[in-house]
Amino acid sequence: MCSNQQRDPQYAELEEFINEIPDKTSSLIAVLHKAQEIFGYLPEDVQRFVAKKLNQPVSEVNGVVTFYSYFTETPTGKHVINVCMGTACFVKGSADILDEFERKLGIKVGETTPDGKYTLQVLRCVGACGLAPVVTVNDRVYGHFTKQMVVKTLDEYNE
């Protein structure tokens, strides 16, 4: 660890998590999930740290980070809003819901509000087609979502 990382409680928390894993050979995705939970995203220095601790090439760690859409290399807002654009959700109006979120937040897909509170993203399928259209905020799933629910949902996270 470099000296900045030694003093950083986030790196210490991640290192403790890694040290508690009995078999590190197949733990990369779990470690990346934990790292993203701790840091909010996976910048290059965090990826290098994980690679070193798991004794894996940085290129392999970065390959996993860039392959899976769950992982991000850029900071996100405190609340990440995902609008499902899979076929069932799209047919039931998810494009209108996305437009309403863009309008209310003043941002486009992939952007974060200037105050760092919200990031707006799309997903190709949440896997909850029976609840279409689906919106997730952080880890919470909202089914049968309507355009009219946008303001209420944002108000819920403004508290």
Domain 79-157 of CATH type 1.10.10.10 = no
pLDDT greater than 80 at residue 97: yes
CB-CB neighbours of 80 under 10 Å: 17
Q: What angle do CA 34, 62, 121 make, to 5 degrees?
A: 70
Local confidence band at 139 (pLDDT 50, 70, 90 cut-offs): confident
Enter the DSSP assignment of 125.
Answer: -
**42-96 per-position pLDDT tens digit:** 999 999 999 999 999 999 999 999 998 778 898 889 999 999 999 999 999 999 9
pTM: predicted TM-score of the whole model, two decimal places: 0.72
Does the annotation flag 2 for ligand binding? Answer: no
The confidence score (pLDDT) of residue 2 equals 52
Rounded Cα distance, 63 and 42, in Å? 12
Rounded Cα gap, residues 30 and 95, in angstroms: 32
Burial level of 150, CB count in 10 A (0-12/13-18/19+)? Answer: buried
Task: Output the average pLDDT for the chain.
Answer: 93
